[in-house]
Structure 1
Amino acid sequence: MTGPTTDQSAQKSIDKTAIRDAATVVVLRDRATRPRVLMGQRGAKAAFMPNKFVFPGGAVDTEDATVPLARPLPPLCAARLTEDASTEIAEALAVAAVRELWEETGQILGVPAPWPGTIPSDWLEFAGTGHRPSAEPLQFIFRAITPPGRPRRFDARFFLLDADELASDPDDFHGAADELSHLQWIAVDEIRNYDLPFITEVVLAEVAARATDQTPPDSVPFFRNDDESSLFLRLRGVEMRDD
């Protein structure tokens, strides 16, 4: 009996790529007129989705779970984030969303407030603006796991954010890192002219449906692509009560 070929071994290694929790932020402006979303282009040499136009976002870091939010997620969003997931993940995802938005676009989602204790190294510049991160304006609208066979896999949660909630000038990207280029506000009705990942197109349909409705959706779509099957689920969550 012969062993697996090099290609088969490589494929097996890829299929076992660890799935990392991730947060993505869909910032929306001009909801009542011609809705636009904030996007940028990934580099040609990027390991994940090269050249694609994407929303700001990225993987959760270990340090994210220790960052003190000035204002927490809405209870319903937090409940839905922990459905079919760790009960501790909601706050870390919210922190990651604020951090990735800051790092990749220079935009601030936070409120003026002092930081208690030592400021984590990744947050020194953010804290230097006089703000602490706030998750209160984030609305959880979509979840998707990267299918098997990709060089990197993420369990991505998508948050919708109204640009009016930003504590910064939405047209000022001078503080952005170089991970995304061509940062710009793209009209939703023109966005299909850009090179988009498939999942981004799916999320945009959800965003378009919610552009004029700021109330939480009845449920959140979840594309669950694990190694055994691909499922389409709905996350409803149960809002926790104090009484």
Structure 2
Amino acid sequence: MNTTLKHWKEAATLILAAGRGRGFTPRAPSLFDYGVLLLKRSGKSGFMPNAYVFPGGVVDASDFSSDVKQPLETRPPIFATDRLKLGSPIPGEVALRICALRETFEESGVLLVAPKIEEKKMLKSIKDLGYIERYGVNDLCSSELTKWRALVNQNPSNFIRMCRELQVLPDIWALHEWGNWLTPAGRYGTTRFDTAFFICCLQEIPHTLQDDKEIERFQWSTPSEILQSYQAQELWIAPPQFYELSRLCRFPLLNDLHNFASQRATAGCEQWMPVVVSNDEHHISLLPGDKLYPVDSPRDSEAAKSTAPQSKDHQDASPLHRIVISDPYTLRVQITITPKYNHVLPVAHSAVSHDSKSQL
């Protein structure tokens, strides 16, 4: 845990995709054979109340506990912080995954762990394939999970204690690195998060239950359904969720998404801190690679204060990578650059509403 940070907190979130099954019925015929888990934040929340979000939360010191015995060596941390200098023997990329798993369990009741007896099989899969070729979910007793969920909500350190007593491992290698978003200064008050985004694919939807504290309700929906509901003002999602769901629209089949995510993750990612500018018509979140994105944009101070070009200036051939915000429920991504780290472009705004195979 990086206690030296002054301007934001480290966090992790999990994009959880699962095949059709229990609790998942698309509202209309769809090309997608999977749903994505969204949780509605409490209206009393101090950060983005009533927003629909992926499960996740702030890193806890217990996520860096040396009690975590992982069976394999890790590659360099997502963030280049030397955790040893901060007193933790656990690499950041391990702790951030544990944070995502713990928060997902707390908020939705979904527990992603692997039996300790599968340790050798996991090692072999990593050695042969570079990732674990498995996307199932545990089969633990529901009453046992209910007991432990309450304990973990009381004290995050009980998550590692639970794994030890149940003889399971946090299934960190089912989580694939997907992205990294840093809240821009001043956009949501003084609260800022440097959030690692992971993705995990499950063959079927697991038993899910909101905690009725931080989370009011949950839903499993296809990426296109979520974006259509957002455009219809039936729910609200933040720009990072809009962007990532638009990326998922490239993959109507769960198996294709799983294969892409597991193989792409080895390329890593970069930190994106939107720089917000405005003109008479829009707020524009500039992202790395855009022609107006400041090369040395300060991470620890107010976002750049400048004026965005008018609409007619958007049509030139210069590199664009931005989210144009007309109102809280009207966003569109403008991108003419090639994504780094073997990632995919988000699907265009107009294509989402059609859920058409020709657009994917």
- Deviating more after overlay: 63-72 vs 101-110: 63-72
Letter of the structure 1 residue corresponding to residue 197 of structure 2: F
Residue type at the aligned position of 2:184: P
CA distance in 1, matches of 2:45, 2:157: 27
Q: Is it true that 1:195 corresponds to 2:236 in the alignment?
A: yes
Partner of 1:185: helix, strand, or coil?
strand
Aligned to 2:352: none
The 3 A distance-change label for structure 1 pair 33 and 201 is closer
Provide the rounded CA distance (Å) in 2 between the counterparts of 1:154 and 1:26: 17
Give me the identity figure in percent: 22
How far residue 186 of structure 1 moved from its aligned partner, in angstroms, is 1.3
One-letter code aligned to 1:147: P
Please report how far the alpha carbon of residue 184 of structure 1 lies from its aligned counterpart in structure 2 after TM superposition.
1.7
Choose from 100, 104, 127 the match for 1:97. Answer: 100
Change (3 A) 1:175 1:199: closer
2:180 is aligned, of 143, 147, 151, to 143
Aligned partner letter, 2:106:
E
- Range with bigger deviation, 181-190 or 63-72: 63-72
In the alignment, the residues of structure 2 paired with residue 177 and residue 143 of structure 1 have an alpha-carbon distance, to the nearest angstrom, of 28
What is the distance in 2 between the residues matched to 1:86 and 1:235? 24
SS at match of 1:182: strand
**Deviation (angstroms), 1:86:** 4.0
Which structure has greater strand proportion? 1
Q: 1:105 to 1:224 in 2, by over 3 A?
A: same
Is the aligned partner of 1:29 residue 2:18?
Answer: yes
Q: Distance in 1 between matches of 2:250 and 2:77?
A: 19
Letter of the 1:222 counterpart: Q
Matches within 5 A, 1:11-90: 18-30=7-19, 33-66=32-65, 67-70=67-70, 78-79=75-76, 81-82=78-79, 84-86=80-82, 88-90=91-93
Unaligned runs of 5+ residues in structure 1 are 1-15, 238-243
Tell me the CA shift for residue 236 of structure 1.
4.7
Please give the secondary structure, in 1, of the residue aligned with 2:174. coil
1:132 positional shift: 2.3
Contact 2:38 2:219 in 1 (8 A): yes
Report the equivalent of 1:224: 273
Q: Distance in 1 between matches of 2:212 and 2:71?
A: 25
CA RMSD of aligned residues (A): 3.4
Shift of 1:104: 0.8
CA–CA separation in structure 1 for the residues paired with 2:44 and 2:68: 35
Range that drifts further, 21-30 or 122-131: 122-131
3-state DSSP of counterpart to 1:90? helix
Residue of structure 1 in register with 2:311 after alignment:
none
The whole-number CA distance in structure 2 between the counterparts of 1:40 and 1:175 is 8
* Number of residue pairs the alignment of both structures matches: 210
Mapped contact 1:142–1:158 kept (Cα < 8 A): yes
Given that 1:94 and 1:135 are in contact with CA atoms closer than 8 Å, whether structure 2 keeps it comes out as: yes
Mean Cα displacement is larger for which, 63-72 or 183-192? 63-72
Q: Which amino acid aligns with 2:194?
A: D
**CA separation of 1:25 and 1:57: change in aligned 2, threshold 3 A:** same
| Paired residues of 1:58 and 1:96 also in contact (CA < 8 A) | yes
Partner secondary structure for residue 162 of structure 1: strand
Distance 2:14 2:72 in 1: 16
Answer with 1 or 2: which has the greater Rg: 2
